[in-house]
Amino acid sequence: MMTSHRAKDTFDLIINAAIRLMVGVAVFVLFLHSIFSTSFIGVGTDANGAFIEKTLNIRDYPLRHLVSFVCFFLVLLLLKKLHGRMTARYPKYAALMNNPGRILKALLPVWFAAGCLWILTTQLVPASDPVKVYTIAMQWREQNFSSFAEGGYLFRYPFQSGIVLFYYLWTFVFGMDNYVGFQLINAAAVVLIYFFLTRLAGWIWREDKRIEPAVCIGLMLWIPFSFYITYLYGILIGMACSMGAFYMMVKYLETRKYRYMVIAAFAIGVATVLKTNCLIYAVAMVCFLIYDTIVTNKKDKIKSVVFIILILFGISGCKQATDRYVEHLSGYEMPEGEVMVSWIVMGLQDSDFAPGTYSGYIATIFERYHYDAAKITEASVADIRKILKRMAENPLDEALPFFASKTAFQWNDPSFVGMQISDNRSSAVTVPAWAQSMINGNGRILLSVVFNYIQTLIWIGILLYLFIRRKSRNIYELIGPVIFLGGYLFHLFWESSSSYTLPYFVVMIPYAVKGYLDLARGTDAFVQHCRERKEEGKMFAGQQVKSQLLPFFACAVLMVLVAAFSRTNLFKRTIGLDDGPDAREQFYGRNRAWSYMGDVAAVSQYHLISPYLDETHALVQNEGIIGTEEKTSGREQQILVRTDDGVSTFRFADTGEVLAVSGGADMPVSYMDDAMNMYYEDNPAMQVQWVIQPADGGGYYILSDESALTWQDGRVLVTTFERTDGQKWLLD
């Protein structure tokens, strides 16, 4: 029995140390990125010198981050002291603080109301990838399932069927085209995420009576996460289901009741259907249950094995049920889609936007081998071997700089592109100035600067937690770190995006909060001990004082080593990333290269386009026909002008189609160019790219080869370019 107990202690020690070491190394790297550089999406140039949207990095100042930490910690000590006095003087306040449930009931509805206010105030129309799944869900309501046809969106990405089906079913509640209703579901999902994370913190550190309200407040103050409530892509709903599954798992560990197993298995199954990345949460759950089968008694061991089987069945069952229902609904067999290993190739490739981002590789190889999964897998594996071989041969010149830049892109943007996902989106209402400022104005710049420092404080808080709680043997305390580690390692090789890594950052916020709470308490105890030793004339004597001072000496040594490393060229290519003064000007809003019309048009900007001869009318499309009508305040007349490599596309906000002209035709049309719906035909003769050229005396010419978009007698035509006033357009 004694041997068994010792073996368990040794096993726990090894598992604890391994997890904490890996998480500590990852967090420390991200901490270094945070204090030495900052990443954001701006405007750069490609290999040909053309303006493109691109991830940029600017040099940061570690001393400023250190000062922000000291100031924050002093404020924290002040708040702790104030809390102590209020608890002593006001019994009602003390009673409230001792009842975390009441605090949550007060805080979470306030946040939900604020989220609803933001949604109703902005009413941002879906864009980018979300508009595809949203539009397809609307097409399903019209019995249009051509997205499953060869070359269509769901033919390529059948794993998106789950989130499309989710929105499709909700249209029977909210009605057609009610994207605002779906955004309200996102707001509710965030509330659930905060609730489950807070309750998990209370379960993990049950001896800490202050942890739940502190964690809830910390989560609510991380505003970038809240911007995702308008992003209809399954990220928040999938995370809410996943965290609900974890909460049910800890309830099972408490009670060993079967009902929690069933709920957890179903929740994680639904999560993986909505967002495939939620498999990372499922793997983490299984890891903890495997541990439970090792250390628990025989009766509970069997239950945990059953739990694992239920999770696997839940994931497989939910997927099969979804696939069969979608097949019944659409009449199409569920396609195999693009091979997942191709995503790893893409995640290991560089691109103009950022390392590891979508480069089109998966689409290219999918078509090159005519949808043959075996051939695609073989070719993708071969490409992975080539890339890894090249990196292994040049680790300092290729591998480390690539993974460092990719890590910075995914984790070192202070907002995790929270504001950017709201930018350049049309709205059903006039967005108030204060909200517009937060999306792409001075408010956005201020938030980016503030959260640059808060992000560092969170990394420091996590490091403090890992150090202060280093002697804990509670494996279940590491639920958040295990989830984070899974996400960190997965997206080191998979397609990269800040929106993908954000959930794994959020699950670590409770640990940062715990780190600061323990530091504040430890500081109080240390100061009190020093006072006692001073009264005894033994200020620097005593084991406690020495043990408390030891970490400061260790930090000093570590800082010296980091300072020495910062002088190397490798540091500049991995940690101290800097794209120069122009990038800094963009980050601080002093050079908005993305928001002007001049020799190079805006990279991505919504406009009302009016004839120069009649600015009271706007360019519109109606059932594929291009014309003009009197301007209104609605979003249906807005056109997204996007410029890459000197050429522009004009995308109508109401349909998602682009302005196009067929060779030799004298009338333009609107054309769906992304294989997303039934009207799409791959037509090489269809010209969708235009050149915007400033005109003398004001306005712009919109050109296609030697022809120009022309307004003539109330009609919109394509005529020979002659620099007439009828060929001039205003972009508001």
Model confidence pLDDT, tens digit, residues 264-320: 999 999 999 999 999 999 999 999 999 999 888 888 899 999 999 999 999 999 999
Structure tokens, 206: 């049950």
- C-alpha–C-alpha distance, residues 31 and 411, integer Å: 10
Domain contains 712: yes
Domain contains 707: yes
Structure tokens, 309: 């089987």
Domain contains 631: yes
The upper half-sphere exposure of residue 176, i.e. CA atoms within 13 Å in the direction of its Cβ, equals: 8
Other C-beta atoms lying within 10 Å of the C-beta of residue 204? 21
Question: SS3 for 525-560, per residue?
Answer: HHHHHHHHHHHCCCCCCCHHHHHHHHHHHHHHHHHH
Report the DSSP pairing between strands 691-694 and 686-687.
Answer: unpaired
- pLDDT computed for residue 98 by the predictor: 77
- C-alpha–C-alpha distance, residues 53 and 213, integer Å: 40
User: How many structural domains does the chain have?
Assistant: 1
- C-alpha–C-alpha distance, residues 165 and 325, integer Å: 9
- pLDDT computed for residue 539 by the predictor: 55
Alpha helix positions (H), 235-276: 235-255, 258-274
Provide the domain limits for residue 685. Answer: 604-731
Low pLDDT (below 70) residues in the chain: 1-5, 46-51, 529-530, 532-552, 554, 590-604, 633-636, 644-645, 674-682
Domain contains 658: yes
CA distance to 231, 349, 503, 508, 627, per residue, from 406 (Å) = 23, 10, 17, 20, 45
611 forms bridges with which residues in the sheet? 729
Give SS3 for 297. coil
- Residue 427 near residue 200, CB atoms below 8 Å: no
- C-alpha–C-alpha distance, residues 531 and 320, integer Å: 66
- pLDDT computed for residue 494 by the predictor: 92
Closest CA to 324 of 721, 316, 302, 356: 316
Domain contains 645: yes
Question: SS3 for 572-586, per residue?
Answer: HHHCCCCCCHHHHHH
- pLDDT computed for residue 676 by the predictor: 47
- C-alpha–C-alpha distance, residues 115 and 193, integer Å: 14
Residue position matching structure tokens 């140039």 = 45
- pLDDT computed for residue 534 by the predictor: 65
- pLDDT computed for residue 547 by the predictor: 59
- C-alpha–C-alpha distance, residues 240 and 275, integer Å: 11
Q: Is the pTM of this model over 0.85?
A: no
CA distance to 96, 447, 448, 501, per residue, from 421 (Å) = 38, 15, 14, 15
| Distance between start and end Cα atoms, the chain | 79
- Residue 56 near residue 587, CB atoms below 8 Å: yes
Other C-beta atoms lying within 10 Å of the C-beta of residue 397? 13
What CATH number has the domain bearing residue 643? 2.80.10.50
- Residue 653 near residue 635, CB atoms below 8 Å: yes
CA distance to 42, 388, 697, 712, 714, per residue, from 613 (Å) = 35, 59, 13, 10, 10
Domain contains 617: yes
- C-alpha–C-alpha distance, residues 345 and 406, integer Å: 14
| Cα 566 to the center of its chain, rounded Å | 29
- C-alpha–C-alpha distance, residues 235 and 498, integer Å: 12
CA distance to 180, 420, 436, per residue, from 604 (Å) = 23, 11, 16
Closest CA to 295 of 479, 485, 474, 478: 474
Domain contains 652: yes
b/e sequence 616-638, b meaning 16+ C-beta within 10 Å: ebbbbbeeeebbbeeeeeebbbb
**What radius of gyration, in Å, describes the C-alpha atoms of the chain?**
28
- C-alpha–C-alpha distance, residues 664 and 427, integer Å: 36
b/e sequence 149-184, b meaning 16+ C-beta within 10 Å: bebbbbbbbbbbbbbbbbbbeebeeeeeeebbebbb
Handedness of CA 173, 178, 182, 185 (dihedral sign): negative
- pLDDT computed for residue 603 by the predictor: 53
715 forms bridges with which residues in the sheet? 712
Domain contains 638: yes
Structure tokens, 482: 């295990």
Closest CA to 84 of 512, 522, 524: 524
- C-alpha–C-alpha distance, residues 451 and 68, integer Å: 11
CA distance to 235, 349, 482, per residue, from 469 (Å) = 31, 39, 16
- C-alpha–C-alpha distance, residues 446 and 430, integer Å: 23
Other C-beta atoms lying within 10 Å of the C-beta of residue 92? 8
Residue position matching structure tokens 């954000």 = 502
Give SS3 for 666. coil
- C-alpha–C-alpha distance, residues 10 and 469, integer Å: 17
Q: For helices 279-295 and 235-255, what crossing angle results, to 10°?
A: 10
